[in-house]
Amino acid sequence: MQYETVIGLEVHVQMDTQSKAFCGCSTLFGQPANTQTCPVCLGLPGVLPVLNEKFLQYAIKVALALNCKVSNYLKFDRKHYYYPDLPKNYQISQYDMPLAEHGYLEIETENSTAKKIRVLRAHMEEDAGKLIHTSQSSLVDYNRTGMCLLEIVTEPDISSAHEAYDYLTRLKSILEYLEVSDCDMEKGSLRCDANISLRPVGETKLGVKTELKNMNSFKGVRDALEYEVIRQEKALNAGELIVQETRLWDENKQKTFTMRTKEEAHDYRYFPEPDLPPFTIEDKTIETVRKELPELPAVKKERLVSEYKITEYDANVISADKYIALYFEEAAKEYKSPKTIANWLMGDIMNYIHNNQLESKKLAEILPVKYLIEMLELIDNNTISGKIAKKILPDMFTSGNTATQIITEKNLVQISDTSQIETIVDEVIQEHASVAEDFRNGTDKALMFLVGQVMKKTRGKANPQIVNDILRKKLGTT
Amino acid sequence: MDIVNKTAIELLELLEKGEITSWEIASAYLKRIESSDAKINAFVHLDPEQVLKKIKTLPEGKLKGLPIAIKDNLCVKNQLTTCASKILNGFRPPYDATVIEKLEQAGALVLGKVNMDEFAFGSSCETSCYGPTHNPWNTECAPGGSSGGSAASVAAQFTPWALGSDTGGSIRQPASLCGVVGLKPTYGRVSRYGLIAFASSLDQIGPLTHDVRDAALLLNIIAGYDKKDSTSVNIETPDYLANLNENIKGLKIGLPKEYFDVDSNPEVKQSIQQVIEILKSLGAQFKEISLPHTEYAVATYYIIAPSEASSNLARFDGVQYGLRTDNKLDKESPLIDMYLKTRGEGFGPEAKRRVILGTYALSSGYYDAYYLKALKVRTKISQDFKDAFKNVDCIITPTSPTGAFKLGERINDPLAMYLSDIFTISANLAGIPALSIPCGLTAEKLPIGLQVLGKSFDEQTLFNVAYAYQQNTDWHKKKAEI
């Protein structure tokens, strides 16, 4: 039977505020255990929460960027469950009146068509701490307790692992544009759980879903979903029933496993948080935030196409990363061919960044825009070949020197002096007389070999066009 | 000089004139506590040596080192703060409640922590893990509760004044039963930061004093917006003491018929009648009013308060502070077992009863029928008062239907105990201020209290009515003999 996949994602984004959601504690990551705490986030008896206004501002930004309707009424609720990383044994969250609802994010499907993924809701809550298990005991680190979280829940509109991956990539891109989160899944500042079910094509009723947890990267989410599609498909084809359960993704085994066989019946006993009186978010507050929104990836992409005449594909790749996009625009303003910049950025530069695990944010620092432009101009005026440029680019990254400095130092300036090249060409013709003869007899390929030999002798510095011309002249084919 | 029978303001005047030192005052109270608290059991955490040492370190302030007793649910930095519960055994908060900060900045001397019903759950001070406090007027009687230790310590002249907290009458009812003045301020008037929460939407901290002037002064010190408490209200705090005005000519006072229909003790009814006569003679006008939803107040309260309490008490789990069970834990699920045993051992029967009540009321499937319904009735009760205050400036009622009852008399009958608060609960549900002042004695020489209810943030009118009354009577000057 043919099945269709139905996926909904729940993403927890840690907002990159300076202080925690309901107290003044610092949100610095990687500090010694329990040093970023105070009586309030430790939930000591007698303390009261006070809302961090930055948190609200950031959350509204995200809600608007996801095309949500922002509520005019801000209300928090308590969600109760017992766990040692939750010092009050309730979490301040939002239940029946989330900050934002009814949004969407446009993604691209496998066959490059646009698709809207509806955002059901986005609500504000506080993070829990972390348990550290040793063989003897379990310890609690409360540094993360009380950090600002925004939970973004989609409708079950996602139809494949690819779409889920694309949704996450675009969500991350938006969050980075907004400068509200560092979106680092490994640090836990972005966490994603996925609900997935299958149903026969044409069926409108949802199938039984499983909830997938413990994915530590976007790739992990994609892999887990791909695995789960196959697992569920096999089960359904074998006439088995899918059990509604939580399954954990095992990165090493590339499989999902049942986390709990019997689903614990959770009753969170939500009720309105009496320590935080609800208040009105005025329309003008929302509009002020809206006005301050930066240009978002989708809009930027369109503008790059129309303003710099680069392809949709290029614009899509470049606009996905805020810092690459910034870099591109800065360079494109100073250099005649935006397409060339796009090619370099999407090719060697992004490869280098990726392979060396650099942050794109740092690009402009490591390779100043004017250095890149200088290098491109050296190619344009035949000082170096494109090949040499590719070769020296890593040096530019590591040494921080300009292309001119590097080629001078390494004696890589292109040889365009015809007399010098003629001498070498003569040598090569002499050394490979039979190949030269082949060319004269019409074997075009032979020319490429001879050009290669000249380049070898000049360690790639000879201007290939000039070499070509001289060879043809000498072999009497021009 | 007899120090301990004086009001706070009288002592401040003596300090001002240099006729006495703060050390002499503190010593006199400590001596009296030492000699007589065995009979009363008001203080649960007291370190006389430390108290005397502390005097030298206090900042200059208008309270000049005057001592004050603090209910055991208010956090005092590095001092035992246990809510009279085993589960907070040994807990010393690393911070001061805002009211404590304000008191200390004003130069007050925290004398020690006084007894209460466990987590303020009770009306008799009998649910304390330290045993009951005894009523100074008759030690066989309960002092009322939950701020029984605060009321008794003032009545027994162990302190010139005390702080308590009031969730459904916990300041006013013991004030009434111990013959002292007690005020529950408007919700939001005093910061709750550092008050270990019972029911967050109902709790308020307030003064227990010998007379109205002291109450006005103490409210001056503790009131005011606090950015650490989002439910505190950012409006100006008047100088209640300077604004005291005994002229109540033309003041319109409401008499809610629902409160007078209750089967109160005849002596209580009679005392209130006498109050009315006196206030009439001072020019006040009386008017019968109706607060039609009064009969639902106790039921509403016993949904909302335990619901919030069940949530607030969730944090007492043995993980970070307080009691953790010493018993062996189940190997299969040690964490759950640690929770169960710690809470099982740490909470007394009344705390358990309220946690169970609240957990039930908030459970899915019951939430709408109980909690949500209670919120709706609460709005009605609140509206009753708003409507009434369109026609009157304040309302008077008895504080409690009876005088002090015997210890043990109601402890096994929760419903009878809950009904002790029948006159006081509505003010918490509506958030309005309410004051209790002594207005008589029963034949058994037990105090009777008058309750004055006012508009939100109009504590001044309550003080003025009570001040006018105290200027013309001397019930507030009657002292318990211990």
Non-local CB neighbours of B288 within 8 Å, separated by 6+ positions = B254, B255, B256, B257
Non-local CB neighbours of A240 within 8 Å, separated by 6+ positions = none
Q: How confident is the prediction for chain B on average, in pLDDT?
A: 96
Round to whole Å and give the CA distance between B64 and B68: 12
- CATH topology for B1-482 is Amidase signature (AS) enzymes (3.90.1300)
Torsion, CA B101, CA B191, CA B95, CA A74, rounded to 10: -150
Domain end, chosen from A287, A307, A332, is at: A287
Give me the amino acid identity at B81: T
What are the tens digits of pLDDT across the range B228-275?
999 999 999 999 999 999 999 999 999 999 999 888 899 999 999 999
- Peptide bond before A93: cis, by omega within 30 degrees of 0? no
A297 and A434 share one domain: no
Where do the structural domains in chain B lie, given as residue ranges? 1-482
CA distances for B89 relative to A95, A105, A413, B319, angstroms: 35, 53, 81, 13
Non-local CB neighbours of B171 within 8 Å, separated by 6+ positions = B147, B150, B151, B164, B165, B182, B183, B184, B206, B208, B436
Give me the amino acid identity at A12: H
Round to whole Å and give the CA distance between A117 and A10: 13
Give me A50's structure tokens.
């006070």
Q: Which of A44, A270, A276 sits opposite B230 (nearest CB)?
A: A276
Give me the amino acid identity at A426: D
Write down the pLDDT at residue A439.
85
Round to whole Å and give the CA distance between A27 and A38: 12
User: How big is the CA angle at B317 (ends B316 and B323), to the nearest 5 degrees?
Assistant: 80
Which of chain B's residues have a Cβ under 8 Å away from the Cβ of A89?
314-315, 317
Write down the pLDDT at residue A336.
86
Domain end, chosen from A388, A409, A430, is at: A409
Give me the amino acid identity at A358: L
A283 and A296 share one domain: no
Q: Is B182 helix (H, G, I), strand (E, B) or coil?
A: strand
CB contact under 8 A, B362 and A51: no
- Mean pLDDT, rounded, for B145-165: 98
| Cα atoms in the 13 Å half-sphere on the side-chain side of B182 | 40
| Cα atoms in the 13 Å half-sphere on the side-chain side of B187 | 20
The distance of B143 to chain A (nearest Cα, Å) reads: 25
A325 and A201 share one domain: no
The question of whether B71 is a catalytic residue gets the answer: yes
Write down the pLDDT at residue A252.
92
Write down the pLDDT at residue A395.
85
Asked if residue B222 lies in contact with residue B204, where contact means CB atoms within 8 angstroms, the answer is no
Q: How many residues does chain A have?
A: 478
Give me B164's structure tokens.
């308590």
Backbone phi, psi, residue A137, to 5°: -160, 180
DSSP-derived pairing of the beta strands B67-71 and A90-93: unpaired
Round to whole Å and give the CA distance between A384 and A460: 9
Q: Which of B230, B335, B364 sits opposite A267 (nearest CB)?
A: B364
A431 and A456 share one domain: yes
Q: Which of A89, A269, A274 sits opposite B200 (nearest CB)?
A: A274
Round to whole Å and give the CA distance between B397 and B228: 34
What are the tens digits of pLDDT across the range B334-347?
999 999 999 999 99
Domain end, chosen from A265, A287, A309, is at: A287
Asked if residue B148 lies in contact with residue B162, where contact means CB atoms within 8 angstroms, the answer is no
Write down the pLDDT at residue A101.
98
Round to whole Å and give the CA distance between A344 and A350: 8
CA distances for A13 relative to A9, A31, A55, angstroms: 12, 20, 12
- Mean pLDDT, rounded, for B149-170: 98
Backbone phi, psi, residue B88, to 5°: -100, 20
Q: Is A213 helix (H, G, I), strand (E, B) or coil?
A: strand
- Mean pLDDT, rounded, for B428-440: 98
A313 and A376 share one domain: yes
In eight-state DSSP terms, residue A222 is H
CA distances for B3 relative to B9, B26, B38, B107, B212, angstroms: 12, 10, 20, 19, 19
Residues in chain A with pLDDT values less than 50 = 262
User: How big is the CA angle at A190 (ends A189 and A193), to the nearest 5 degrees?
Assistant: 140
Q: How many residues does chain B have?
A: 482
What are the tens digits of pLDDT across the range A112-152?
899 999 999 999 999 999 999 988 888 999 999 999 999 99
Round to whole Å and give the CA distance between B217 and B242: 9
Find the residue in A nearest to B194 (Cα): A46
Round to whole Å and give the CA distance between B355 and A308: 66
**Torsion-angle region of residue A470: left (phi > 0), alpha (psi -120 to 50) or beta?**
alpha
- Packing angle, helices A369-380 and A322-334, rounded to 10: 50
A208 and A331 share one domain: no
Give one DSSP letter per residue of B228-280, joined into a string. T-TTS--SPPP-TTTT-----TT-EEEEEHHHHSS---HHHHHHHHHHHHHHH
Backbone phi, psi, residue A145, to 5°: -60, 125
In eight-state DSSP terms, residue A462 is B
CB contact under 8 A, A271 and B311: yes
A185 and A55 share one domain: yes
Asked if residue B175 lies in contact with residue B206, where contact means CB atoms within 8 angstroms, the answer is no
In eight-state DSSP terms, residue A86 is S
Give me A411's structure tokens.
């004696």
| Residue in A314, A381, A302 with CA at minimum distance from that of residue A343 | A314
Which of chain A's residues have a Cβ under 8 Å away from the Cβ of B95?
39, 44, 47
A98 and A116 share one domain: yes
The distance of A140 to chain B (nearest Cα, Å) reads: 9
CB contact under 8 A, A49 and B230: yes
CATH number at residue A430: 1.10.10.410
CB contact under 8 A, B231 and A82: no
A311 and A383 share one domain: yes
User: How big is the CA angle at A270 (ends B185 and A125), to the nearest 5 degrees?
Assistant: 90
- Packing angle, helices A297-308 and A161-178, rounded to 10: 80
What are the tens digits of pLDDT across the range B189-220?
999 999 999 999 999 999 999 999 999 999 99
Which of chain A's residues have a Cβ under 8 Å away from the Cβ of B364?
267, 269
Q: What is the pLDDT confidence band of residue B359, given thresholds at 50, 70 and 90?
A: very high
Residue A368 sits in which domain range? 292-409
Element (H, E) at A292: helix A283-292
| Residue in B312, B299, B295, B314 with CA at minimum distance from that of residue B375 | B299
Question: Mutating which of B230, B310, B341 best tests the A interface, going by the most A Cβ atoms within 10 A?
Answer: B230
The distance of B407 to chain A (nearest Cα, Å) reads: 30
Round to whole Å and give the CA distance between A439 and A433: 10
Give one DSSP letter per residue of A160-178, joined into a string. SHHHHHHHHHHHHHHHHHH
| Residue A2: exposure state from Cβ atoms within 10 A (0-12, 13-18, ≥19) | exposed
Residues of A with CB under 8 A from a CB of B: 39, 42-51, 78, 80, 82, 84, 87-90, 140, 267, 269-271, 274-277
What are the tens digits of pLDDT across the range B102-132?
999 999 999 999 999 999 999 999 999 999 9
Q: Which of A82, A271, A277 sits opposite B230 (nearest CB)?
A: A277
Asked if residue B194 lies in contact with residue B95, where contact means CB atoms within 8 angstroms, the answer is yes
Write down the pLDDT at residue B437.
98
Q: Which of A45, A140, A269 sits opposite B363 (nearest CB)?
A: A269
What are the tens digits of pLDDT across the range A424-477?
888 888 899 888 888 888 887 888 888 888 888 887 778 888 888 888 888 876
- Mean pLDDT, rounded, for B91-103: 98
- Packing angle, helices A53-65 and A161-178, rounded to 10: 130
The question of whether B170 is a catalytic residue gets the answer: yes
Give me the amino acid identity at B343: R
- Total structural domains within chain A: 3
What are the tens digits of pLDDT across the range A79-121?
999 999 999 999 999 999 999 999 999 999 999 899 999 999 9
| Residue in A196, A170, A195 with CA at minimum distance from that of residue A183 | A170
Asked if residue B86 lies in contact with residue B97, where contact means CB atoms within 8 angstroms, the answer is no
Alpha-carbon radius of gyration of chain B: 21
| Residue in A269, A254, A245, A270 with CA at minimum distance from that of residue A193 | A245
Round to whole Å and give the CA distance between A97 and A89: 21
What are the tens digits of pLDDT across the range B10-69?
999 999 999 999 999 999 999 999 999 999 999 999 999 999 999 999 999 999 999 999
Give me B381's structure tokens.
């009760």
Whether the pLDDT of residue B348 is over 90: the answer is yes
Asked if residue B177 lies in contact with residue B120, where contact means CB atoms within 8 angstroms, the answer is no
What are the tens digits of pLDDT across the range B373-401?
999 999 999 999 999 999 999 999 999 99
Whether the pLDDT of residue B317 is over 70: the answer is yes
A220 and A128 share one domain: yes
A324 and A440 share one domain: no
Round to whole Å and give the CA distance between B73 and B194: 8
The distance of A6 to chain B (nearest Cα, Å) reads: 28
The distance of A72 to chain B (nearest Cα, Å) reads: 19
In eight-state DSSP terms, residue A225 is H
A282 and A301 share one domain: no
B445 touches chain A (CB under 8 A): no
B364 touches chain A (CB under 8 A): yes
CB contact under 8 A, B231 and A80: no
User: How big is the CA angle at A148 (ends A144 and A151), to the nearest 5 degrees?
Assistant: 110
The question of whether B36 is a catalytic residue gets the answer: no
| Residue in B112, B86, B215 with CA at minimum distance from that of residue B161 | B215
